Amino acid sequence: MSVQVWTYVLVGITFALYIGIAIWSRAGSTKDFYVAGGGVSPLANGMATAADWMSAASFISMAGIIAFAGYDGSVYLMGWTGGYVLLALLLAPYLRKFGKFTVPDFIGDRYYSKTARIVAVVCALIVSFTYVAGQMRGVGVVFSRFLEVDIDTGVVIGMVIVLFYAVLGGMKGITYTQVAQYCVLIFAFMVPAIFISIQMTGNPIPQLGMGSKLNDGSGLYLLEKLNGLSTELGFAEYTEGKKSVMDVFMITLALMVGTAGLPHVIVRFFTVKRVKDARKSAGLALLLIAILYTTAPAVSVFAKTNLINTVNEEEYKNMPAWFKNWEGTGLLTFNDKNQDGKIQYLADKEANELVIDNDIMVLANPEIANLPAWVIALVAAGGLAAALSTAAGLLLVISSSVSHDLIKKVFLPNISDKGELWAARGAATLAVVIAGYFGINPPGFVAAVVALAFGLAAASFFPAIVLGIFYKKMNKEGAIAGMVVGISLMLFYMLKFKFGIFDGGKVAVADLEKDWWFGISPEGFGSVAMIVNFVVSIIINKLTPEPPDEVQEIVEDIRIPSGAGAASNH
């Protein structure tokens, strides 16, 4: 069977599976819709969290970015896993004990204020929309290459599927589809990695293959070989970076803290039964995520080495089929500048003839390595699982922010459970349409946009939640001021240095690099904005009255794990 037939078969089967699960796990109440009834097992929640977490950026873009960035790509590896340690130790158990539905719920109650709740809703919406925009492009890329439909049609198909199970099943439907999606995506990621690891090094474990000797008889270690190839072509050594230590430090910190502050991740820990389940399921989630995250850097090394060996100084007319196919999508371009009919892949921009988008490395990798058609199709199904599972989780945050935090808690407190459920479904539908718009008019490449969402989450939620738990005397004035200043500062920096809107648009961005504050990139600036948030919160807190006694009692209560069952029945 051809790759395309295999792709239709595998994508068809997985989609049918997701829809089947959605029908089986329909939501009957708002508690089902928001937190899956609060009775999800730690393992199921761990799997769902892992799928929710690992987006198109993790599955499709990350290994590609690392392949081109080398050591600098480590920021994503450490940043997107280390945040789970913060989440497990500092947030998840206490938020579970608190036992409400959403992150703005916590902020609103802990800081006894509607204003705080509304600020939190606005932050949640900004973060989630920034993030969901990144997913849609992932869906579009997979569809356009493997199913040979138009990118726009691809986005619409993806949206209809998500709409179906998110609107019907809410958190309950999403949780169980995410469990299935985790299985699909991890299988799809590991199979080609294992194949290629055996092919190149003879070691079936990619994590070890990456550090093994090549089995081409040269006796060189794979990483040595790649360092050699990179310097030969004028690039930096693969195991060295170009970014400053300061910037690497700050980006890693922003990604870690952002991970712990992302509403769609935090909300997953509201779905388990007890506090100890929340801790355990954070551990399981990271374990399941680590399987992909420790394999990804190996995939990067394999793919980069294979790519250079396959294309550099080779005749263009002898290029394999995958090369022509990707040229068709515009994500890979060849321009024979010196007219010798061969491909020169070089660091020097003037002489380089080959431009490859980060996003295609994982998808093209099995083809570059000549793996069987079903493996290539499997990767397409995996990429879709990763993008759809994350999109669904984000859409749920958006819809619950609107229906629960705005409609129920602010505008229409007397709305019935049934009415709120319908409001949630309406909000989810609207959110899908807006996300679809972003998918058709994508705002840039996947991981760059996603990385900014972390900065925004780090700058807004993380300090407010941590102070809310660990600093009993933290009051509403401090928390609100901190969130507003933090997210505004991050937005300003991102608009100025990433989008150049104050200096003549995107063309000006490269020149602005020298003006970066303390040499910190927009991706890393979330760390600075977070620190500013902490400082502002604490100063304002000192100048304004203490929180009321009953709020301080809430804080004492969430620090103790027993009795969480009762707290969630409200």
Partner 1 sequence: MKERQKKASSYWKENVRYLFILLSIWFLVSYGAGILFKDVLDNIQIGGFKLGFWFAQQGSIYIFVILIFIYVRLMNKLDKKYGYDT
* 294 lies in the binding site for partner 1 (CB under 8 A): yes
**Residue recorded with tokens 């705080």:** 116
CA terminus-to-terminus distance, the chain: 55
* 58 lies in the binding site for partner 1 (CB under 8 A): no
* 122 lies in the binding site for partner 1 (CB under 8 A): no
Among 239, 333, 416, 441, binds partner 1 (CB under 8 A): 239
Q: With respect to partner 1, which residue has the nearer C-beta, 93 or 170?
A: 93
Helices 245-261 & 525-543 angle (0-180, nearest 10): 60
* 519 lies in the binding site for partner 1 (CB under 8 A): no
Q: With respect to partner 1, which residue has the nearer C-beta, 66 or 267?
A: 66
Among 26, 43, 122, 283, binds partner 1 (CB under 8 A): 283
* 269 lies in the binding site for partner 1 (CB under 8 A): no
DSSP string, 414-473: T--HHHHHHHHHHHHHHHHHHHHHHHHS--S-HHHHHHHHHHHHHHHHHHHHHHHHH-TT
Give the nearest distance from C-beta 221 to partner 1 in angstroms: 3
Give the nearest distance from C-beta 298 to partner 1 in angstroms: 9
* 471 lies in the binding site for partner 1 (CB under 8 A): no
Non-local (6+) Cβ contacts of 262 within 8 A are: 127, 131, 453, 454, 457, 461
Side chain identity, residue 237 = E
* 221 lies in the binding site for partner 1 (CB under 8 A): yes
Give the nearest distance from C-beta 562 to partner 1 in angstroms: 4
Non-local (6+) Cβ contacts of 461 within 8 A are: 103, 107, 120, 123, 124, 127, 261, 262, 263, 266, 483
Among 7, 61, 81, 181, binds partner 1 (CB under 8 A): 81
* 1 lies in the binding site for partner 1 (CB under 8 A): no
* 111 lies in the binding site for partner 1 (CB under 8 A): no
Total residues in contact with partner 1, by rule CB under 8 A: 50
Q: With respect to partner 1, which residue has the nearer C-beta, 26 or 276?
A: 276
Helices 103-110 & 446-470 angle (0-180, nearest 10): 30
Give the residue from 76, 84, 135 showing the smallest Cα distance to 285: 84
Q: Which stretch binds partner 1 (CB under 8 A): 284-292, 353-361, 397-405, 534-542?
A: 284-292
Strand partners, 356: 332
* 210 lies in the binding site for partner 1 (CB under 8 A): yes
Which 523-562 positions form the footprint of partner 1 (CB under 8 A)?
A: 556, 559-562
Q: Which stretch binds partner 1 (CB under 8 A): 130-138, 242-250, 356-364, 511-519?
A: 242-250
Give the residue from 260, 262, 271, 257 showing the smallest Cα distance to 96: 271
Which 91-110 positions form the footprint of partner 1 (CB under 8 A)?
A: 93
Q: With respect to partner 1, which residue has the nearer C-beta, 10 or 301?
A: 301
Rounded to whole angstroms, the Cα distance separating 311 from 509 reads 31
Rounded to whole angstroms, the Cα distance separating 35 from 48 reads 12
Among 153, 199, 207, 312, binds partner 1 (CB under 8 A): 207
User: With contact defined as beta carbons under 8 Å apart, do 264 and 34 qualify?
Assistant: no
* 218 lies in the binding site for partner 1 (CB under 8 A): no
Among 219, 245, 510, 549, binds partner 1 (CB under 8 A): 245
- The percent helix, strand, coil of the chain (3-state, each to 5) is 75, 0, 20
Q: With respect to partner 1, which residue has the nearer C-beta, 22 or 256?
A: 256
* 496 lies in the binding site for partner 1 (CB under 8 A): no
Give the nearest distance from C-beta 273 to partner 1 in angstroms: 13
Rounded to whole angstroms, the Cα distance separating 50 from 286 reads 7
User: Element (H or E) spanning 160, and its range?
Assistant: helix 151-201
Give the nearest distance from C-beta 500 to partner 1 in angstroms: 29
Give the nearest distance from C-beta 332 to partner 1 in angstroms: 26
Give the residue from 92, 91, 93, 115 showing the smallest Cα distance to 104: 115
Binding site for partner 1 (CB under 8 A): 66, 71, 73-74, 77-78, 81-82, 84-86, 88-90, 93, 207-208, 210-213, 221-224, 239, 245, 248-249, 252-253, 256, 276, 279-280, 282-283, 286-287, 290, 293-294, 297, 470, 556, 559-563
